[in-house]
Amino acid sequence: MNELIAWGLDIVRWIQTFRNPLFDAFFQTINFLGEEDFYVLILPLIFWCLHKALGMRLAAVFLFSTYLNQSLKDLFAAPRPHQFPNVWSPFKTAGYGIPSGHTQSTTIFWGYVATQLKTRLWWTLAIVLPLFVGIGRMYLGDHFPQDVLAGWAIGIVLIAVYVIVQPRASEWLSKQTWTMQLALAIVVPLVLLALHFTADTAKSLGVLLGFYTALVIENKFVRFATRAVMWKQIVKFALGLAVLLALRFGLKAIFPEHALFDLLRYALMGAWVGVGAPWVFVKTSLTPAGRG
């Protein structure tokens, strides 16, 4: 056992000396903020009902972050604390350790939203929630402190780079032809997939492929607006989410268990979020056509 793992085990075991039923419940609950299920709910909600442009930008940095995290995990192939003696873990998450995906995802999500909304509340959430999620990952025995520190650091760096690059990239992209935009939406995820293709990266890149290809189509032919009265917002989200979950779980039950079918399934989910649901919303008068 190398010194870094030994140091990390000491920290995890020390944190777990504070175990009690209240902390168990708290950290298992807040852990949901880093789960795929949470983002399947919150990202479509933002895009469909709250802020279309923010949803588009947030999805890009979040999905790339997920892909990068999965690639780095496979590169380092580091163990998790629960694989060692005397470490409690209710989940015993499979896969490699560093960097912590939950920590990186919450840093990206709350941090990027805070850079866009720029309110004291959102900056507080952007600091407090990733902090507690990171501590929770150690408390729950799924990550070493070095995994969590890496997740925080990568998330912060990605946000900083994206905030600088995204406006210029969007301006350049807006000047390209519709065909070029469509080609880029297809080619970029496939290039990333060729660089590192696993069952995990197939999911994040499948959504990236389906969602951004759909966005190019939506911007030309649908152009839905997020604004609507409250009851229509509720119906929009309920309808959109019902189909999204049907695609997620229904296709999983039908498709063979293979990374290529995961890629297709998540691409269809992304396409539904990006153009399928908006088209239905406009056709059923749940939302007007527009750009906001």
Domains in the chain: boundaries: 1-168, 176-292
Both tokens assigned to 147: 């995994």
Residue 70: what residue type?
Q
Could you tell me which of 21, 227, 204 has the C-alpha nearest to residue 108? 204
Classify each residue of 127-145 as buried b or exposed e, where b means 16 or more C-beta atoms within 10 Å of its C-beta: eebbebbbbbbbbbbbbbb
Q: What angle do CA 204, 248, 130 make, to 5 degrees?
A: 50
Q: What angle do CA 36, 45, 54 make, to 5 degrees?
A: 100
CA distance 243 to 250: 10
Strands (E), 163-251: none
CA distance 205 to 63: 7
Could you tell me which of 101, 110, 13, 29 has the C-alpha nearest to residue 65? 101
- The pLDDT tens digits along the chain (292 residues) read 588 899 999 999 999 999 999 999 999 999 999 999 999 999 999 999 999 999 999 999 999 999 999 999 999 999 999 999 999 999 988 899 999 999 999 999 999 999 999 999 999 999 999 999 999 999 999 999 999 999 999 999 999 999 999 999 999 999 999 999 999 999 999 999 999 999 999 999 999 999 999 999 999 999 999 999 999 999 999 999 999 999 999 999 999 999 999 999 999 999 999 999 999 999 999 998 765 5
Q: What is the DSSP letter of 141?
A: T
9 to 78, 101, 280: CA distances (angstroms):
13, 19, 52
Q: Which residues pair with 77 in a beta bridge?
A: none
Is the distance from CB of 163 to CB of 115 less than 8 angstroms? yes
Residue 91: what residue type?
F
- Cα dihedral 264, 266, 269, 273 sign: negative
245 to 138, 142, 262: CA distances (angstroms):
31, 27, 14
CA distance 175 to 182: 13
Residue with tokens 């929770």: 136
Peptide bond into 145 cis (omega under 30): no
Q: What are the residues whose beta carbons fall under 8 Å from the beta carbon of 163, sequence distance 6 or more?
A: 112, 115
